[in-house]
Structure 1
């Protein structure tokens, strides 16, 4: 019998399409409101998996909309009582449950400063939704697994949809319509992912590397592996990795590289070429044909995925890898130790 996590991983194509079908029109109206307000920046508050979604937002809103993004430091609002001045911007809270008090505190402070607020959540009746001026509901359905999967990719879809409508380019909106089919395609790579898990499961540490838009993907995959398989997975930008952490590597050290076609592609090729002489245990998630031809143990991403949307697709093999690693190591993926579905921090 499939675990809740496995079932929810496979629900993602339908969840992503449902978001577009049910929520895109409302997001388009919200984009008009934001555009009329002309914010100079966004401040985003999030924790855990949602913090990785916030990192995606940081790239997307900056690259597509030209809007700088800062990630809030909730401790300034709750522990130190030293919130910054947020006038001129919008404050966005991202939380699957919408219940974390420290994220709520950031939005409450924004309202005290008369700064517009937006919540992105899977719980439209949550405290975080109630405190916000605007809400994007993910409509992902109940997520029973402790480890987030479908709510994470739904968060990315919400962010991408808002960025596309803010930009006002029909080409970007049209690209959103193909995301669910790309997700369906990549799920067919499950046997290749299981093969990587059989190579990696005996290790107690590994590295996940990427660059650019998929920086968030490295952190989300590493988080899932830590949560489910109890492997000390470390996430790096390929650029940061070359500034010191590469010294960790020795023969047989497991490295997972996410190398999607696009502007970051050449830099990832350079890193992978540099790793080959080190005889590391390497696996790839990629749609780069040259890398697919030269590497055994690769997961093929669908061709034609735009780089800006690739994090929604490239994380799915990472979710499957974490699931398979947990199973190979004899752990229950639905009951990770020390974790609860909703974590309340102040």
Structure 2
């Protein structure tokens, strides 16, 4: 990869390139906290889990939902923060596992819901980057993201760290699945992903004039597709929406008649065959579809990581490289999206 001039080297890309070091640091420094939380979960055995988050953090929770359900058979639902903060309802969360994810830990609605859940007898866990934040002080357990300061408005390294922070806990609870080995090999897979930046830039060139884009995925990659659609709005000014590849044929497929381009995430896990079949049907219907992910034959093929739960991380990193260069190719500064700021405080 040739070094880019500083004018074409925005914070978004620079921070995304920190991913291998962030994950290495997180694994090393969170080892004790992950073991302690795993021990507590064995002792308290929650019947279900709920997640609390907004924006990119909520998209990370979609990936965590699939992770917890597929590896631990633990049902997971997304909690609407406004049920408590606006409608005044105190939910019965006794015994539940409540996972709050936030880069800043400063959003009042997330903090208030964690406080409510802990008072109700839930086991509360915060995945947060700012370790002295209100959220970190409110939750019973904290798994720091270990990103260091993230200055770009568009979150990159904090999203990637949110995907991985809970995985060592899952690995301790399901020790024979090979996840811990995959986690230790993940930083190297991310370094290899960074070598794809020129290819990501080339793929971005094909979408330079797109005004609308549909992003497809299934399973563990679906939360990455949600994040991709958000980033395309934030950094590129493209109206993008994420769909399950399974659900796209139930009505939204009609949009193909309008010529809308598609970007599909291509997994190499249990969802691979079904996803590839859906993509083949779309191409047969004339879809303009290119793919990104660990599945062989993808337009942009990301390095395998050895486990379904870690595969989405290089996919997300490769997409960030794509999105950063797409914004630059459209003459936009991905670090200065109109009307947005780094921290949004929602009630």
TM-score normalized with structure 2 length: 0.94
User: For each residue in 1:210-268, what CA deviation from the matched residue of structure 2 results, as whole angstroms up to 9, or x when unmatched?
Assistant: 11111101101111111000101110110111111111013753211111211111111
Pick from 40, 43, 57: which aligns with 2:47?
40
Give the corresponding residue for 2:267.
260
Give the corresponding residue for 1:12.
19
1:321 paired to 2:328? no
Contact 2:49-2:76 at 8 Å conserved across structures: yes
Q: CA deviation at 1:304?
A: 4.8
Q: CA deviation at 1:77?
A: 0.6
Pick from 108, 121, 137: which aligns with 1:114?
121
Pick from 154, 157, 164: which aligns with 2:164?
157
Contact 1:87-1:113 at 8 Å conserved across structures: yes
Structure 2: how far apart are the matches of 1:276 and 1:340? 38
Pick from 129, 137, 150: which aligns with 2:136?
129
Q: CA deviation at 1:109?
A: 0.6
1:283 paired to 2:290? yes
Alignment RMSD: 1.4
Structure 2: how far apart are the matches of 1:330 and 1:69? 41
Give the corresponding residue for 1:65.
72
1:340 paired to 2:341? yes
Contact 1:41-1:90 at 8 Å conserved across structures: yes
Structure 1: how far apart are the matches of 2:339 and 2:301? 34
User: For each residue in 1:6-31, what CA deviation from the matched residue of structure 2 results, as whole angstroms up to 9, or x when unmatched?
Assistant: 11011001111111111123211211
**Gaps (5+ residues) in structure 1?**
293-297
Give the corresponding residue for 1:295.
none
Q: CA deviation at 1:116?
A: 2.3
Contact 2:201-2:325 at 8 Å conserved across structures: yes
Give the corresponding residue for 1:98.
105
SS in 1 for 2:246: helix
TM-score normalized with structure 1 length: 0.95
**Gaps (5+ residues) in structure 2?**
1-5
Structure 1: how far apart are the matches of 2:330 and 2:281? 30
SS in 2 for 1:239: coil
Structure 1: how far apart are the matches of 2:122 and 2:112? 13
- Any runs of at least 4 consecutive aligned residues in structure 1 with deviations exceeding 6 A, and if so which? none
Q: Which has the higher helix share?
A: 1
Pick from 183, 186, 195: which aligns with 1:188?
195
SS in 2 for 1:178: helix
Give the corresponding residue for 1:224.
231
SS in 2 for 1:342: coil
